[in-house]
Structure 1
């Protein structure tokens, strides 16, 4: 897994946008103006940060040595995932999709309804 693969997975999700809110070396993937994935473009990081449910965060950190509390992020809601750790590629996709769904849940209802209507995404609470 590498930065471009993570970016491609994130951008494949409906209504995902990207921007650099923290300067030219930090790429944020967002839905509805809220960040769900943060990537370092300078090449200094060997990981990416994603938003996760707090209980899932604990579970993931206990099961995988290449997942830890989010670097420079809220440790309760964010994790850092190594690009080349013990995580299979399919699991990276699952984690990014989880981050995307978690972020959608936090959007105002009206915005969730617009996303649901235009993308086929159903907000079923997962």
Structure 2
């Protein structure tokens, strides 16, 4: 998968915006202002594409034990975020999309009820 496919996948979700809140190289996707995916563009340009995704802590550990390409979130909470190394080719596109969905759902689940209802 390439960055544009993943970008479009993220943008097709409800109430998602993209921005560069940290620097010109870190593309961030948010749902109702809450981050769920961070793409370091300089790594993608260098052929080493990866993404930071929010994850349930128990599921995060399970994934890290099962896949070399899923590691504790770089520059993020190691409990709640994973770095998903797409460039290694170990992960199927379906799994990557599932992990993006999971991240989005985790962020939505943590929102106040009124915010969650606005997505209906």
What is the TM-score when the length of structure 2 is the normalising length? Answer: 0.91
Cα separation, 2, equivalents of 1:74 and 1:2: 26
Residue 84 of structure 1: CA displacement?
2.4
> 1:84 aligns to what SS in structure 2?
helix
Q: Which one has the bigger helix percentage?
A: 2
Cα separation, 2, equivalents of 1:106 and 1:64: 26
Aligned positions, number: 116
Cα separation, 1, equivalents of 2:68 and 2:41: 23
> 2:21 aligns to what SS in structure 1?
coil
User: Cα RMSD (Å) of the superposition?
Assistant: 1.2
Does residue 94 of the first structure (1) align with residue 98 of the second (2)?
Answer: yes
State the match for 1:104 in structure 2: 108
Q: Deviations over 1:44-84 (max 9, x none)?
A: 55311000110110010011110000010000000001122
What is the TM-score when the length of structure 1 is the normalising length? Answer: 0.87
State the match for 1:21 in structure 2: 21
Residue correspondence of structure 1 range 47-126 to structure 2 within 5 A: 47-85=50-88, 86-116=90-120
Which residues of structure 1 form unaligned runs of 5+? 117-126
